[in-house]
Amino acid sequence: MTDDQGFATRAIHAGQEADPATGAVVPPIYQVSTYKQDGVGGLRGGWEYSRSGNPTRAALEAALAAVEGGAAGFAFSSGLAAEDTLLRAVLRPGDHVIVPNDAYGGTYRLVARVFGPWGIEHTPVDLSNPDAVLDAIQPGRTKLVWVETPTNPLLGIADIAAIAAHARAAGALLAVDNTFATPYLQQPIALGADVVVHSTTKYIGGHSDVVGGALVVADGAQLPVGLEGPTGTTNVRDAVAFHQNSSGAVAGPFDAWLTLRGLRTLAVRMDRHLANAAAVAEFLEQWAGVTQVLYPGLESHPGHEVAARQMRGFGGMVSFRTGSADSAVAVCGATQLFTLAESLGGVESLIEHPARMTHGSVAGTALEVPDDLVRLSVGIEDVDDLVADLAQALDAAGVGR
Ligand code: PLP
């Protein structure tokens, strides 16, 4: 592999050389916990124990690093396990974190309710305004700025390069949750991020059959000023590797294999997801009873220009408002092709009511979402069928045309 190869080439080949023992053209599932040693300490290829390292997981980690343009990838058992590991690796009690005021609810719950009691303070900030980050930075205390763009579920857009400059000036790390955009559509490390976070459960896995997470660390990323890592170095990469092994929330071999299989087709799936999502968003904009459509590809979206600058395409997620909680819930119950379910990013279309489903955990906080909001994960089915399904559901729910 070379750095100048295109995205799809890297997704299909990086870390995925034919198996040296058999010539198998895809990395086998090394469903194994431990490895025979040729005499004490005589490791074959460095493999010792599968929490510390497993060849299937290593293939996924190498491929993830290659597609994000990072120095090292780390695969976890869920997106939140990846986030948890990163927060432990780069923060200490007394530190302060900036989080998006419309972050994924689980991220907010982790920061506020798990790390809060361990002495980490946080400030929710509207990241669509980069200067709001400046105002929220507490000099010497703010060690991490957490960006999600587009956000879940309001599809807010943050200017990664502008926020990276503010974080760097403050001596804080910048982590970007790239789950919604995927590395195909957005390259946060090239825009200045130190770490990229993924729920690989979503588009990278792509088939709603595996839960997983990942971190990709930028080349040379250093721990926040003043923090020495557990291995005596100040590299984020070393600290994350230490914590991944020490806490152990790693991706299992079969999950890693499924995720890698998904990654190989990410580019072609995303092209179809975003074409379908654009058509669905335009259809919803014409529907009189739909009071707002949130899709960064629409010129009406306040983050459209920034998204057009930093993304190759606008993604497969569309949210819209129906004017009342009852009608939003009714639409969610009336679709036939869109399956009523949490999660997103699979080939099949999903619909959900964030206030009562994915974002129920942030009710009553600064991150509460409107109760008339409906979120769509637009799949790769025939788009005419998707539009027809939404039309009949809006009619059935009494959302006027
Ligand atoms: N980040 C975002 C943007 C998400 O949407 C999710 C899950 O929905 C997560 C992180 C957490 O990932 P997981 O559910 O794999 O733990």
Mutate to test the pocket of ligand 1, among 77, 104, 109 (most ligand atoms within 8 A of CB): 104
Q: Give the chain's residues under pLDDT 70.
A: 1-3
Q: Contact, 399 vs 285, CB < 8 A?
A: no
Per-residue confidence (pLDDT) for residue 360, from 0 to 100: 87
Residue 317 CA to ligand 1 center (angstroms) comes to: 14
> Parallel, antiparallel, or unpaired for β 195-199 and 213-217?
antiparallel
> How many other C-beta atoms can be found within 10 angstroms of the C-beta atom of residue 249?
16
Residue 79 CA to ligand 1 center (angstroms) comes to: 5
Measure the CA–CA gap between 129 and 191, rounded to whole angstroms: 17
Q: Is the CB of 352 under 6 A from ligand 1?
A: no
Per-residue confidence (pLDDT) for residue 1, from 0 to 100: 58
Residue 81 CA to ligand 1 center (angstroms) comes to: 10
φ, ψ for residue 124, nearest 5 deg: -75, 135
Per-residue confidence (pLDDT) for residue 365, from 0 to 100: 86
Kindly list the structural domains of the chain, giving each domain's residue range(s) and its CATH number in brackets, ordered by start.
Answer: 7-263 (3.40.640.10), 267-396 (3.90.1150.10)
**Closest residue by CA, ligand 1 atom 1:** 199
The catalytic residue positions are 51, 104, 177, 202
Which atom of ligand 1 lies at the shortest distance from residue 212's CA? Answer: 15
- pTM, to two decimals: 0.97
Per-residue confidence (pLDDT) for residue 137, from 0 to 100: 97
How far, CA to CA in Å, does 52 sit from each of 75, 168, 225? 11, 32, 28
- The enclosing H or E element of 147 equals strand 142-148
Q: Is the CB of 107 under 6 A from ligand 1?
A: yes
Residue 80 CA to ligand 1 center (angstroms) comes to: 6
